[in-house]
Amino acid sequence: MDHLESVSVTVDLLSGNEAIARGAFEAGVKVATGYPGTPSTEILEAAAAYRPAIYCEWSPNEKVAMEVAVGASLAGARSIVTMKHVGLNVAADPLMTFAYVGAVGGMVVCVADDPGMHSSQNEQDTRHYARFAKIPLLEPADSQEARDFLKRGLEISERFNMPVILRTTTRVSHSRGVVRLEEPAADRPPAEFHRNPPQYVPIPAWGRVMRARLEERLARLREAVEVSPLNRIEPGDPSLGIITSSISYQYVREVFPEAAVLKLGWSYPFPDGLIRRFADSVRRLLVVEELDDFLEEHVRSLGRACEGRAWVPGIGELSPARLEASRARMEGRPAPQPPDPGIGADLPARPPVLCASCPHRGVFQALKEFDVVVTGDIGCYSLGVLPPLNRMDTILCMGAGVSMPQGFEKAGERRKIVGMVGDSTFFHSGITGLLDLVHNRGTSTIIVVDNRTTAMTGHQDHPGTERNLMGEPVPAVSIEAIARACGIEHVATVNPWDLAGTTRALREAIESGKAAVVVSRGACPLCAGKPRGAPRVVDDSICQQCQQCLDLGCPAIEFTEGNLHINEYLCGGCSLCQQVCPFEAIRTQEGAHAD
């Protein structure tokens, strides 16, 4: 883009996620749903800034979010649904069949992948889902395209009656760039559902018709993608041509400025004719893509020789530096030398940790008393697996913390099993596991660490909170009441900053011989607005340096060169260190006892 033109146009500096939300606003999207997940979360948070023009909701999980958006589409309204890559696994069921049923109002499924696993448990490649579901795939490479492609995606969705996947990656979603803005288009016609069961009900007789119609739509899409302005050839030196998409395009332009480039913005259905023409116009063909060999395999299937994974890494995310190293290998040059490793080789790691005064710390500390298997789940409390807490044994996916204990138990594991799940994750997919535990006579204990928010992703509401994304006061659903309704008889609630009480409640639950639920209720300190108590100090004249307080892994407790000190700016006054100190050397400045 030419920066000088921006004088007469409204521009803003937006992240990819904010730009998607802006596109939704400009395109007249009526309903936006999603479930939080890094790196997708800010799409819906930014969309909420356009309330009430856009109705926004955090749904209990991605499947519900997808189904709500489908409902809006069938009523004729434009909708978007947002999630991270693994969220699409949860929402895959409605997506696969919605491809058959077909969209009425435009619907774009915004999915953010996480190459390099910055905040994820795997680095699956969402592009396969587009081919799997036989629906269009758009891949913006920066914030401007994120806004533009969202709007184009809605148009494609309506023109071909299909949901469209808009796939970003961490570096597209979380990079900011200059975006040209427009005002929203004129009002769209009011939503009205037109009954037509053969179109909307995939019972086998009608589903077979839909199946054939899906292929007809794909055939029309294959024609449209060939002439789409979302794909373009950037001419260059024909000795090397590069096919690329998404953020990889930006790295290609940095590292191979002279090359001819086929940039794919609408990458599925593949524009076969365009790919063939480009391949035939260059002497050597390279595919640069992150994660799987999605494009490379297809180019080969067209009978065109190409290189890709032989030079460009497919594990972890790309970067200009990694692609520079790829180029050096291709050209038989030595890789660029890293700087003197002595300077940074021995630096202390600084992994993320549970915050000072985090309620989860009390639960992990109490769990140290028990020889049990702990099945964990997805959230801040995943950090409890790391030293010095070391109190989580497994993590799989959302909800597995509740469901997996049953398998351990029925397999004959000699120890008792404790499942751990956060409040938002419990509503997302923990309840079905609880039903299994009761129905199939399990005896495990499930701890719901209820910090009153979806903390890890930046504090979103969920069914257990008292306000929704529209800002409306709503009844907070009781976790204890759900547990009882599921048939759990042993239900207890604890204050996680009371170590003795938490330990006692856990012992009763674990030794009850029945399925039990313990709710640890303590609000996330980042949301509480004020510290839990006065900052603690260490009385050096009493402290024996036994270091038991350090086993809490609290970032406020600093220990260097024999000096044990509590950082007064970080300390939230939760008193857990005071409770674990066997010498009563930790207290408040005024000498007050624990709250």
Partner 1 sequence: MQTEPATSLVLAGVGGQGILLASEIIARAAMAAGFDVKTNEVHGMAQRGGSVVAQIRFGPRVYSPLVPARSARILAALERVEALRYVDLVAPDGLAVVSSQAIVPVTVSSGAARYPDDAEPRLRSAFARLLFLDAASIALKAGSIRATNVVVVGAVAADLALPASAWEESIRASVKEKYLDLNLRAFQLGRDEARRVLGA
* Interface residue list for partner 1 (CB under 8 A): 1, 3-4, 6, 11, 13, 38-39, 41-42, 118-119, 142, 171, 174-178, 234, 236, 247, 249-251, 253-255, 257-258, 319-321, 324, 336, 338-340, 343-344, 346-355, 380, 383, 387-388, 456-458, 547, 550-551, 553-555, 557-560, 569
| Least Å from the CB of residue 455 to partner 1 | 9
Min dist CB 216 to partner 1, Å, is 39
431, containing H or E segment: helix 431-439
Kindly tell me which of 47 and 164 has the beta carbon lying closer to partner 1.
Answer: 47
What does DSSP say about strands 563-566 and 557-560: parallel, antiparallel, or unpaired?
A: antiparallel
The 10 Å Cβ neighbour count of residue 293 is 16
C-alpha–C-alpha distance, residues 130 and 99, integer Å: 10
Q: Rg of the chain over CA atoms, in angstroms?
A: 27
Q: CA distances (Å), 106 to each of 75, 244, 454, 485, in order?
A: 11, 27, 29, 39
Q: How far is the CB of 550 from partner 1 (least distance, A)?
A: 6
Shortest distance, CB of residue 319 to partner 1, whole angstroms?
Answer: 5
CB of 191 to partner 1, least distance (A): 34
Residue closer to partner 1 (CB basis): 312 or 417: 312
* Min CB(380)–partner 1 separation in Å: 7
CB closer to partner 1 out of 45 and 125: 45
The values of phi and psi at residue 12, to 5°, are -145, 160
3-class SS of residue 575: coil
Is residue 446 within 8 Å of residue 373, measured between CB atoms? no
**Residue 137 and residue 127: Cα distance in Å, rounded?**
7
Nearer to partner 1, 178 or 191 (CB): 178
* 57 Cβ contact list (under 8 Å, min separation 6): 32, 33, 65, 68, 468, 469, 470
CB-nearer residue toward partner 1: 8 or 52: 8
196 vs 563, beta carbon nearer partner 1? 563
* Residue 286 C-beta: closest distance to partner 1, Å: 16
What DSSP string describes 11-67?
Answer: EEEEEHHHHHHHHHHHTT--EEEE---TTTTHHHHHHGGGTTTSEEEE-SSHHHHHH
- 8 A C-beta contact, residue 88 and residue 129: yes
Smallest distance, Å, CB 514 to partner 1?
35
**Identity of the residue, 178 or 218, whose beta carbon is nearer to partner 1 in the bound complex:** 178
Rounded CA gap, 318 and 123, in Å? 13
416 or 536: whose CB is closer to partner 1?
536
